[in-house]
Chains A and B, each alone.
Chain A
Amino acid sequence: GENVEQHPSTLSVQEGDSAVIKCTYSDSASNYFPWYKQELGKRPQLIIDIRSNVGEKKDQRIAVTLNKTAKHFSLHITETQPEDSAVYFCAATDQTGANNLFFGTGTRLTVIP
């Protein structure tokens, strides 16, 4: 099955700086890569996703890049704000055709005011 690795496990940045979280996956057939943000005690919320037919996608301060050859994808958050503090999970699908998501172990991002 799919194996997703995520780094770093914790990340602290000053408010206004950028944050980058990186993930690798093992299944070359994976074609969908969402990122979820989970605040303490709350459900995961989708913040951005990318499909394998594009290399980059942006949504305001958030961007995701995908390198299918190297099987890695990254989340970029610019101009970080304290409310960005949360745990971020990357995920990748397996090859069944359904979106069975296999998640990374998460990155705890702390934005220091």
Chain B
Amino acid sequence: GAGVSQSPSNKVTEKGKDVELRCDPISGHTALYWYRQSLGQGLEFLIYFQGNSAPDKSGLPSDRFSAERTGGSVSTLTIQRTQQEDSAVYLCASSRTVTDTQYFGPGTRLTVL
């Protein structure tokens, strides 16, 4: 079946602009996760959703970052007033339940000029 998809695949923006990144999880997966991968680095946990609620927002780097999920499916990660240090690949993953294997999307490469 279809895997996790993300859009856009690449996003170039100017410092100070807002961006929205989208994740479409695997159909039927109740858990959804956002991670960030800076160049040559590991993956950093940002936030996860169980259904439409986000029990754990502790990984969000600042209040410029927010995320929502509607209908238990699509999620958007919003970064306001982007900074150059926000440049990274943003990866989304989903799992059938919170204790099942996570499957990753292809990521969105964000470049802030």
CB pair A99 B91 closer than 8 Å: no
CB pair A98 B55 closer than 8 Å: yes
Known: A98-B31, A99-B99. A44 touches B43 (CB 8 A): yes
Q: How large is the interface on B (under 10, 10 to 19, 20 to 34, 35 or more residues)?
A: 20 to 34
CB pair B102 A89 closer than 8 Å: no
Bound Cα distance A67, B95 (Å)? 26
Q: How many residues of A contact B (CB 8 A)?
A: 24
A-B contacts besides A34-B102, A99-B31, A102-B45, 9 pairs, CB < 8 Å: A43-B91, A43-B105, A46-B103, A96-B55, A97-B99, A99-B98, A99-B102, A100-B56, A103-B42
Contact among B33, B98, B102 for A97, CB-based, below 8 A = B98
- Find chain B residues with CB under 8 A from A96 CB: 55-56
Chain A stretch 57-113: residues in CB contact (< 8 A) with chain B: 89, 91, 96-106
Contact among A32, A45, A97, A100 for B104, CB-based, below 8 A = A45
Sorted from nearest, which 4 A-B pairs have the closest CB atoms? Answer: A98-B98, A43-B104, A103-B42, A103-B43
Contact among B33, B50, B55 for A101, CB-based, below 8 A = B33
